Amino acid sequence: MGLAQIRTEIKNLLETVSGIGKVHDYERWTNDWRTFLNCFNTDNNKINGWMITRIDTRERLQAAGAVNIATHTLAIKGYYGLKDNIESEKTFQDLIESIRSTLRTHNNLNGTCLKSYPPQVDVLSPHPYAGILMHQCRIQLKVEEYIRYTPI
């Protein structure tokens, strides 16, 4: 397997989470914040979406054979419209826990990686984008995969 398959499987798993909104298997950016927010606009005109990107990859040698192990750190970034009068933080926090539970229980991402570690939330805060107040979150997920190569 490889990073592309791992990223696709994470997207597939996220899309099974109730209330997830839109999921992109790459990081979305534009020069215009309104266009950026439209990437996460759901059918009911609510901002609710996630995107997946790689933060880093570390590779280490194995003692025998032409196989290394690569450890990828992936970021799953979420944005959710903040509305205090409907207690949107509670909904967003519950959504984050549902995502963590889904990823935790698929600890080899359905065979696309050797193993994945428990998901970690490392950023969680409200933030204004284009005049719209949003909840934002970053979940880090470390995954390991075998890298087979042919020595020269």
Domain boundaries, the chain: 3-148
Q: Is the pTM of this model over 0.95?
A: no
For residue 113, pLDDT over 70 is answered with: yes
For residue 57, pLDDT over 70 is answered with: yes
* Centroid of chain to Cα 110: 16
User: What's the rounded Cα separation, in Å, for the pair 134 and 37?
Assistant: 10
Cβ atoms < 10 Å from Cβ of 112: 22
What pLDDT does residue 30 have? 81
Phi, psi torsion values for 14, nearest 5 degrees: -60, -40
- CATH placement of domain 3-148: 3.30.2000.10
For residue 152, pLDDT over 80 is answered with: no
For residue 64, pLDDT over 80 is answered with: no
Q: What is the mean pLDDT of residues 13-17?
A: 97
Average pLDDT, the chain: 92
Q: What is the mean pLDDT of residues 28-41?
A: 82
Band of residue 34 on the pLDDT scale cut at 50, 70, 90:
confident
Contact by Cβ (8 Å): 67, 147: yes
Band of residue 44 on the pLDDT scale cut at 50, 70, 90:
confident
What pLDDT does residue 63 have? 67
